[in-house]
Amino acid sequence: MDEALTLFDKLWAVHEIARRDDGETLLWVDRHYIHEGSFNAFSQLSARGARVAEPGLTFGVADHYVPTRGRGRALDNSNIARMVSTLSTNATASGISLFGLDDPRQGIVHVVGPEQGLTLPGLLVVCGDSHTSTHGALGAWAFGIGASEVAHVLMTQTLWQRKPSRMRITIDGHFAPGVAAKDMVLAIIAGIGADGATGHAIEFSGAAVRALSVEGRLTLCNMSIEAGARCGMVAPDDTTFDYLRGRPYAPQGAAFDRAVEEWSALTCDDGATFDKEISFDAAAIAPIVTWGTSPQDALPIDASVPDPAREPDAARAKYLRDALDYMAIKPGRRLADISIDRVFIGSCTNARIEDLRAAAAVLSGRVSKVPGLVSPGSSLVKRQAEEEGLDRVFRAAGLEWAESGCSMCVGINGDLVAPGERCASTTNRNFRGRQGPGARTHLMSPAMVAAAAVTGRLTDVRPLLAGRKI
């Protein structure tokens, strides 16, 4: 009898080339994404006199350092200009396709890959960015790699890896109105901790996961690494196939039909075993916001922040004190009483068309009490949003409508939260200084950010959705 395999086991098996005695395995890489930060890897190639082994399998995207304002003029920052130029030079010299600043398809790499049909079920996808796990939403095996590994992939189209443990997170039941994929993943991280999935490849399953759109699954897999996972994935299904049909780089016509037959086998076999299994009830998940300096510091909006004085564990109490001190929040304060200074809607986590529609549904006919920035996940998303009139909703609410890029998520491109300011953000990390030195970040869904904008504080979006479609 054949052994029952998990989805991850199947993907590992078809990509394994050779295995060493120490357990390290050489894997074939199907798709390699690079961005401006790849210059170190190309320098390593140059020093060795090496060339890119498979330029047709590597795709470049300008996203991390690019400005989201003043895109039509010369870049003011000479360092950023040099990095963007270097990416273009390296891509041209190596025969790599580039979605650069002058390309109408430019965007955040983890939005562009699925959008263009470059990310497909069954592929092994890597990129020099930790949130490469996003692509697992399409049934791919995707993970971030370091600069030296980027160089190795460029030179060989292979990568040495040690097989991670396998973990299944099942979310059954149905969401309540106003609850989104971002709430789901924050609830998971809060439940298992920022190290709860360390050393594991996560497979997300269950009725609530299946009910998600591809955009929602991308959000879910994007933040799987915030629980310490090596990657996250969702088995492909009809929702996946419908999303991919007609995408520029996806198979076309009869070839697509044949591909769907192969992709349909990428499921977890009945009886397959996992090293760790955890279950959640979707009906028990409420709109969630973070209060501290880790994505695990997350609670339902109607809760209050912890009080270190009531924590018996000394180390935990110190952690709580430090986090609350940095965030300038008094112990035990109600989350809904915390005022904000600005909002940000964007990033590879929540800047797709579905996310912008959700935020616009709350903001329509309302005015933001605080300044804010909306940066679409790609130039194509921006164009679609403008065709639907979403940009007019954001502008009428008083928010700035910007170009596509990583923007205020990572704070390395000029889009920053000022020191001491508190930002309601759709991004994936709330570490100290993530959005700028001294910035205080609260993570939440796009609809929840919109709710915070119109009230000027952390707010339960559900009353604001009454009579509105989201």
Q: What is the pLDDT of residue 390?
A: 98
413 pLDDT tier (thresholds 50, 70, 90): confident
* Average pLDDT, integer, range 343-366: 98
Q: What is the enclosing helix (H) or strand (E) of 341?
A: none
Reported pTM: 0.96
Q: Which fold has domain 165-237+268-284?
A: Aconitase; Domain 2 (3.40.1060)
User: Residue 73's pLDDT band (boundaries 50, 70, 90)?
Assistant: low
Structure confidence by residue, pLDDT tens digits, 218-260 = 999 999 999 999 999 999 999 999 999 999 999 999 999 999 9
* Closest C-alpha to 190, from 218, 223, 214: 223
> What is the radius of gyration, based on Cα positions, of the chain?
22
List the domain boundaries for the chain: 7-163, 165-237+268-284, 288-465
Round to whole Å and give the CA distance between 432 and 434: 6
Whether 135 contacts 125, CB under 8 Å:
yes
DSSP-assigned states of every residue in 362-387: HHTT---SS-EEE--SBHHHHHHHHH
Ramachandran region of residue 93, left (φ > 0), alpha (ψ -120 to 50) or beta?
alpha
Q: Average pLDDT of 18-40?
A: 95
Residue 467 — pLDDT band, cuts 50, 70, 90? Answer: confident
Residue 74 is predicted with a pLDDT of: 63
Mean pLDDT of the chain: 96
Same fold, 7-163 and 288-465: yes
Predicted local confidence at residue 172, as pLDDT: 97
Q: Would you report the helix, strand and coil content of the chain in percent, each value rounded to 5?
A: 40, 20, 45
pLDDT surpassing 90 at residue 411: no
Q: Is the pLDDT reported for residue 354 higher than 60?
A: yes
- Domain 288-465 coded CATH 1.10.287.70: no
Does 118 or 81 have the greater pLDDT score? Answer: 118
**pLDDT at position 78 over 80:** yes
Q: Which two tokens stand for residue 99?
A: 């979605």
What is the average per-residue pLDDT within 155-171?
A: 98
- Cβ–Cβ < 8 Å for 373, 408: yes
Cβ atoms 150, 53 nearer than 8 A: no
Look at strands 165-172 and 276-281 and give their pairing: parallel
Q: How far is CA 13 from CA 19, 70, 123, 240, 269, in A?
A: 11, 47, 12, 22, 14
Confidence at 358, pLDDT banded by 50, 70, 90: very high
Residues linked to residue 60 through DSSP beta bridges, in sequence order: 34, 98
pLDDT digits (tens, 9 = 90+) for 319-346: 999 999 999 999 999 999 999 999 999 9
Give the strand pairing for 372-374 and 400-401: parallel
Looking at 3.10.150.10, 3.40.50.300, 3.40.50.150, 3.30.499.10, the CATH number of the domain 7-163 comes to: 3.30.499.10
pLDDT over 70 at 1, yes or no: no
CB 256 within 8 A of CB 263: no
